[in-house]
Structure formats: structure tokens, C-alpha cells
């Protein structure tokens, strides 16, 4: 399940949090899963989706805002993108 995968990755320090860091990681490596908040800007979402296809990575939309995704990850700030390392 998506929620379990996110929490496991964050607790195990197997996650990259944030748009800029996630894009760098996706371009340089092959992540297991890419998760974006449902309120991410359309241009950013399209860029990440395109990179996910090129890296043949899983892509999921978190059914909540970036603020909710941040809270879910246990950080005190909004998270628009989270990458689970492969």
C-alpha cells in the first residue's frame, strides 16, 4: 500500500524529499517509486511524470495536499514530491 511504502522509506532514510532533489535523483538514478502531492503545479507534475517514464519508475499521486504529505512524512513543511530509492 502507498502509505506503508512512504512511511517505510522515510523511516529507513530511503527517500528523497523535495522537488529539486527529487528531479536530480530521478535523472541520475532509477527510483523505485515517485509520489507527488495532488496540488503540485501542473508543469512540475508533467516534468516529473515524463522523467518517471524515461527512468521506468513507478508514479503515484498522493491523495492529499503537499502540506498533508509533509505531515505524513513527519516533517514540519510541505512536501510536493517524494522519491523512494530503488
Instruction: For 33-77, give the secondary structure using H, E and C.
Output: EEEEECCCCHHHHHHHHHHHHHCCCEEEEECCCHHHHHHHHCCCC
> Which sequence spans correspond to the domains of the chain?
2-84
Q: What is the pLDDT of residue 11?
A: 93
pTM: 0.92
Q: What is the pLDDT of residue 1?
A: 81
Nearest to residue 66, comparing CAs of 85, 80, 49, 54?
A: 80
Q: What is the pLDDT of residue 56?
A: 92
Q: What is the pLDDT of residue 13?
A: 93
Q: What is the pLDDT of residue 2?
A: 87
- Per-block mean pLDDT, blocks of 10 residues, the chain (86 long): 90 95 93 96 96 93 96 94 94
Domain 2-84: top CATH class = alpha beta
Amino acid at each position: 500500500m502507498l502509505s506503508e511504502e512512504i512511511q517505510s522509506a522515510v523511516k529507513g532514510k530511503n527517500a528523497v524529499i523535495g522537488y529539486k532533489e527529487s528531479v536530480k535523483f530521478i535523472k541520475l538514478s532509477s527510483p523505485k517509486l515517485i509520489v507527488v502531492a495532488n496540488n503540485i503545479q501542473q508543469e512540475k507534475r508533467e516534468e516529473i511524470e515524463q522523467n518517471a517514464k524515461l527512468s521506468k519508475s513507478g508514479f503515484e499521486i498522493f491523495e492529499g495536499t503537499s502540506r498533508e504529505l509533509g505531515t505524513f512524512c513527519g516533517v514540519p513543511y510541505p512536501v510536493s514530491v517524494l522519491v523512494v530509492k530503488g
